[in-house]
Structure 1
């Protein structure tokens, strides 16, 4: 190869490597958040504060495939003894919702029968609570892991069970 061609290849190589490194740094920086959980101690402190939220990336209807929720609003927010829930629902409804009613799972109010149980050996925490949406009884079972991931199962008196996978974090100030 000629010296000019080598300089051109070297410049192209440096450009590609630099671009790749910048892309990796931006991608990693984009997922970093001050509210994220990184270990079991952080998870314990966050849950004991009762000021945390869960945002789900996946819905898992019973009898169906996984549904990607990224970009779709959904949350479970705890603030003291209260909780606010907005989760999209995909599945079979056993009792009518009534015309014009929203099909998602919504609840805002006290977290009834609230219970926290820790498994220090497996480094996870389970949170259970109940609520009512109209005439529908809602039971929530949430499993939180030391890496910040979460698994939520929702049983209701009028619908098939559905579960969600997401992440737990501090409630972000608006």
Structure 2
């Protein structure tokens, strides 16, 4: 009886430790991989997740957050935001809620995370088991630098983690789409 119980516990342990689920490539994940290889896609975020600090709690308590938002998750629906990769260039315009860690100045129109140009470093890796891509790049503007890690999932959703030299870290969640040119045509 004791041997049967031990065998049952061991079997349950082995089944529970079977590791991560392997995701098979689909037409959708292969289409995403093609966009990443061409460096021609855009990401629009629906949610922003700032670092919860006492200052962010003060903002939340004062009623300054958009409807349906909390200090842990701020809705970006209806707010223009993007990260665009087009060839070797990256442009991004993302709103920012959080704290400044170093003194500096912002103009009225530059409170968010804004960059347009060629990143200092750009690296793409793929997790074959989960069919997700991790893109890491570093960009600098005249005031601060950003380390950005973008995770693109096979269902065309994304997570963007940004660490700044002057601000608290922040994360965005959104969707990937095909990059369109300024005249509305899809770029190839």
Does the alignment reach a TM-score above 0.5? yes
Match of 1:95 among 99, 102, 113: 102
Task: Give secondary structure in 2 for the equivalent of 1:39.
Answer: helix
Task: Give secondary structure in 1 for the equivalent of 2:79.
Answer: coil
State the Cα RMSD in Å: 1.5
Match of 1:42 among 5, 19, 31: 31
**Is the aligned partner of 1:110 residue 2:118?**
yes
Task: From the superposition, tell whether residues 94 and 124 of structure 1 become closer, same or farther in structure 2 (CA, over 3 Å).
Answer: same
Give me the whole-angstrom Cα distance separating, in 2, the residues matched to 1:116 and 1:99: 32
- 4+ runs of 1 displaced by more than 4 Å? none
**Is the aligned partner of 1:82 residue 2:85?**
no
**Is the aligned partner of 1:145 residue 2:153?**
yes
If the length of structure 1 is used for normalisation, what is the TM-score? 0.75
Give me the whole-angstrom Cα distance separating, in 2, the residues matched to 1:74 and 1:111: 19
Task: Give secondary structure in 2 for the equivalent of 1:147.
Answer: coil
Match of 2:135 among 127, 131, 142: 127
Unaligned 5+ segments in structure 2 are: 1-25, 53-70, 184-188
